[in-house]
Amino acid sequence: MRVATTVDDREPAGVAAAVRDHPDVTEVAVDRLSAGDLAIGSVGVERKTPRDYVSTAMGRSGPALEDQVERLAAAYDHAYVLVEGEFRDFETLRTGVSPASIRGSMASITARHGVPVVPCGDLDGLVDFAVRLGRKHVEDPSSRPLPTGAVSSSREPTPKRMYGCIEGIGPQLAATLYERYPTVEALLEADLADLTEIDGIGETRARTIYAAVRGIDSEPGSP
């Protein structure tokens, strides 16, 4: 599936060029966005370099990231902050802010606003991830339209919404999973035996969930 993308006209020219070079982008418009730096269908992206992230998130200079995030979440069905860097890049920044505090702010934005903050490496990695987000929010692995209510509201906690996107897990089972495992980290600690203790989850679904949260294929004989 290919998507059209809008790049905010205040972004550096290299951003639009990277978007144009992506094989899954049909067309690129450069225009003024009311919120965010990239718009792909119902997905809005705020792009940050590590230094820019610290400056806006930790109140060093420029507009407050929290305000940007609130506008982003109000303007789009699905909002993300994508960082053009890795966690390790924050270790070498001379900003006077500890890397632990920076990671804490990322967790806070993700948990409190329901807007995931994702380090993506370089610009090409960020654009690729943004395009994939735009695609995944409109396509189903089976190519069938999602039934009404299959995906939780954007107001729901992010982990609960993520659980509802796992193949074969509807809103009700996603809610049950969320009650047992309110964070993805908690779900990652569960083994197959733990998952099969939950009503409505047999061995097949347990393996699907186990694989989905680890980003691997669910195959017979996998741990």
Q: Label residue 191 exposed, middle or buried (CB < 10 Å: 0-12, 13-18, 19+).
A: exposed
Fold of 3-136: Rossmann fold (3.40.50)
Confidence of residue 28 (pLDDT cuts 50, 70, 90): very high
Could you give the CA distance from residue 169 to residue 150 in angstroms, rounded to a whole number?
A: 9
pTM of the model: 0.62
Question: Token pair of 177, please?
Answer: 């999973």
> For residue 95, what pLDDT is reported?
77
pLDDT score for 142: 43
Asked if pLDDT for residue 50 goes beyond 70, the answer is: yes
Q: What is the pLDDT of residues 103-117, one digit of tens each?
A: 999 998 998 889 999
Tokens standing for 113?
A: 């606003």
**Helix/strand/coil for 47:** strand
Tens of pLDDT along 188-216? 899 999 999 998 888 888 888 988 887 64
Whose CA is closest to 160, among 191, 182, 135, 137? 182
Q: Which CATH number fits domain 142-223: 1.20.1070.10, 3.40.50.300, 1.10.645.10, 1.10.150.20?
A: 1.10.150.20
Each residue's pLDDT tens digit, 5-20 = 999 999 999 999 999 9
pLDDT attached to residue 215: 67
Average pLDDT of the residues of the chain = 85
Tell me the sheet residues that pair with 83.
48, 119
pLDDT at res. 63: 58
Residue 154: pLDDT band (50, 70, 90) is low
Q: Mean pLDDT across the stretch 38-65?
A: 86
Q: What is the average pLDDT across 57-69?
A: 76
Torsion of CA 105, 107, 108, 110, to 10 degrees: 120
| d(C-alpha 92, C-alpha 88), whole Å | 7
Residue 151 has pLDDT above 60, yes or no: no
In the chain, domain spans = 3-136, 142-223
| pLDDT recorded at residue 14 | 95
Beta carbons of 126 and 120 less than 8 angstroms apart? yes
Confidence of residue 96 (pLDDT cuts 50, 70, 90): confident
Is pLDDT at 223 greater than 60 in this prediction? no
Strands 78-83 and 38-40: unpaired
In this predicted model, what pLDDT tens digit does every residue of 164-186 receive, in sequence order? 888 778 788 888 999 999 888 88
- 80 pLDDT above the threshold of 50: yes
